[in-house]
Amino acid sequence: EPEVTQTPSHQVTQMGQEVILRCVPISNHLYFYWYRQILGQKVEFLVSFYNNEISEKSEIFDDQFSVERPDGSNFTLKIRSTKLEDSAMYFCASNKDGFDFYEQYFGPGTRLTVT
Amino acid sequence: GQSLEQPSEVTAVEGAIVQINCTYQTSGFYGLSWYQQHDGGAPTFLSYNALDGLEETGRFSSFLSRSDSYGYLLLQELQMKDSASYFCAVSGSYQKVTFGIGTKLQVIP
């Protein structure tokens, strides 16, 4: 069964450093998302992406964040200058088309630790 | 914006039925989803309601009342493996899903 994959599984970085989190969505999916989950808290929407453009973003997704689909398979989240409060699990998700927007397939997540 | 409320914890006995409630406030509404998340795992889609009424998928059912801004997830014949967090999530637009805080379900023998 196709699945969303994410790399790395765990990333440790120093405050102020840039990080890139990588995701490979399911191959025939067209809509891509990033979420974050601080330990023990709810899943928070960051951004949605379709047709090589950001569709929606939350207030969390400020100028320090950017997303890119550099090729036909990868979808990346970049944090330019990490802060301690960026420490969280970051999930990538995708779905096939706009009609099943509610059924999102999540990857296993990348745990980001900022020290 | 969107906000959702659900109980933080629920405990139920193996084999029993449990209902997890969710109320929401949203400026736009396309539907209410439910996701399951085991500790350390990714959220997994369970069910979705766009219209009022009950949707059944095996042991899981989900209900929605749009007029009451209320929904619930019903889990029947509880199994130990159902111990997990359950999130209700509202779709206020086609490309944004807002999750609740999650309900941690503990199934006990």
Contact present, A37 and A45 (Cβ < 8 Å): no
d(CA B102, CA B85) in angstroms, rounded, equals: 6
Q: Which of A37, A52, A32 is nearest to A110 (CA)?
A: A37
The pLDDT of residue A103 is 85
For position A113, what pLDDT does the model report? Answer: 98
User: Taking 90 as the threshold, does the pLDDT of residue A2 lie above it?
Assistant: no
3-state DSSP assignment of residue A99: helix
Amino acid found at A24: V
pLDDT at A5: 96
Mean pLDDT of A97-112: 87
With CB atoms and an 8 Å threshold, state whether A102 touches B33. yes
Select the residue of A41, A42, A50 nearest B95 (Cβ to Cβ). A50
What pLDDT is recorded for position B27? 83
pLDDT for position A47: 95
pLDDT below 70 — which residues of chain B? Answer: 94
What percent of chain A stands above pLDDT 70?
Answer: 99
Residue B10's pLDDT is: 97
- What confidence score (pLDDT) does residue A71 get? 87
pLDDT of the residue at B35? 96
Is B87 within 8 Å of A102 when comparing Cβ atoms?
Answer: no
Asked if A103 lies within 8 A of B99 by C-beta distance, the reply is no
Residue A50 corresponds to which tokens in the numbers above? Answer: 């379709």
Encode pLDDT of A50-72 as tens digits: 989 999 999 999 999 999 998 87
Going by C-beta distance under 8 Å and a sequence separation of 6 or more, which residues neighbour residue A9?
Answer: A108, A109, A110, A111
Cβ <8 Å between B87 and A109: no
> Average of pLDDT values for A34-54?
93
A108 in Cβ contact with B42 (< 8 Å): yes
pLDDT of residue B28: 82
User: Residue B78: what pLDDT?
Assistant: 97
Residues whose CB is less than 8 angstroms from the CB of residue B61 and which lie 6 or more positions away in sequence, other chains included: B47, B54, B55, B73, B74, B76
Q: Per the CB < 8 Å rule, is B33 touching A108?
A: no
Which residues 52-111 of chain A have a CB within 8 Å of chain B? 55-56, 58, 91, 98, 101-109
Q: What are phi and psi of A98, to 5 degrees?
A: -70, -15
